[in-house]
């Protein structure tokens, strides 16, 4: 694919969610949430419920996944979750095709960023593990600002990089990502291979919905 004149038709800044969008972590996160509940002798959330909270900040996620337990358990759930996740995060890999897609977009002079429900420590560990730290121009994490779907992450990223929200697109696998985009006035693109069911993503009216990384890469090459 030739770069240069083809690039940057409607967007200058492309913001990616991390878990379930670039990195194949959905099932690991679900298992870690369920293991945390089991450790504390709490009702074990279903896979559907545990998947739904992916992308939110850890405290918000635990409150939603365990609405009926005493609030003191939310902090303990978060603590157990960190323990389980950190023991497994070295096993996580990028979805096939992600590295090539990001490198190509970077060469075409798009600004690239990450907006994630992860903590700063968690994201940096993950970026280092898959050697992508240098590819992104900026990153925002849930423990530094408001959690999705609040628009703050996108507002801060556009401000930091001097970009126009109308030429910014948010790409993610959850309704939280797409709602954040519409709350901020950015475009939203859904990926269908992550945490949320396709119907839930479609209800947010994304500009495009990609079935695979290859599909996303092709759409961005032709339309972004």
Both tokens of 180, joined, read 């954040």
Which residue among 12, 19, 89, 173 is the active-site one? Answer: 19
| Catalytic site includes residue 137 | no
| Catalytic site includes residue 177 | no
Which residue among 17, 89, 173, 177 is the active-site one? Answer: 17
Which of the residues are catalytic? 17, 19
């Amino acid at each position: 694919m030739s770069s240069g004149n083809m690039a940057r038709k409607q967007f200058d800044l492309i913001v990616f969610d991390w878990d379930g969008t670039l990195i194949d972590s959905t099932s690991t996160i679900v298992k870690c949430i369920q293991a945390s509940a089991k450790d504390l002798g709490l009702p074990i959330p279903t896979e559907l419920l545990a998947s739904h909270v992916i992308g939110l900040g850890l405290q918000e996620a635990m409150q939603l996944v365990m609405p009926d337990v005493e609030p003191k358990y939310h902090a303990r759930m978060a603590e157990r979750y960190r323990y389980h996740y950190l023991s497994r995060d070295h096993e996580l890999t990028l979805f096939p095709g992600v590295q090539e897609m990001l490198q190509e977009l970077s060469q075409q002079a798009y600004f690239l960023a990450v907006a994630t429900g992860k903590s700063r420590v968690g994201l940096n560990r993950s970026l280092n593990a898959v050697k992508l730290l240098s590819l992104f121009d900026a990153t925002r994490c849930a423990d530094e600002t408001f959690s999705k779907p609040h628009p703050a992450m996108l507002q801060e990223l556009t401000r930091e990089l001097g970009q126009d929200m109308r030429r910014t697109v948010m790409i993610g696998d959850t309704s939280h990502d797409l709602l954040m985009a519409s709350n901020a006035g950015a475009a939203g693109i859904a990926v269908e291979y992550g945490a949320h069911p396709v119907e839930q993503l479609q209800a947010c009216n994304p500009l495009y919905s990609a079935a695979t990384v290859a599909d996303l890469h092709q759409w961005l090459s032709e339309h972004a």
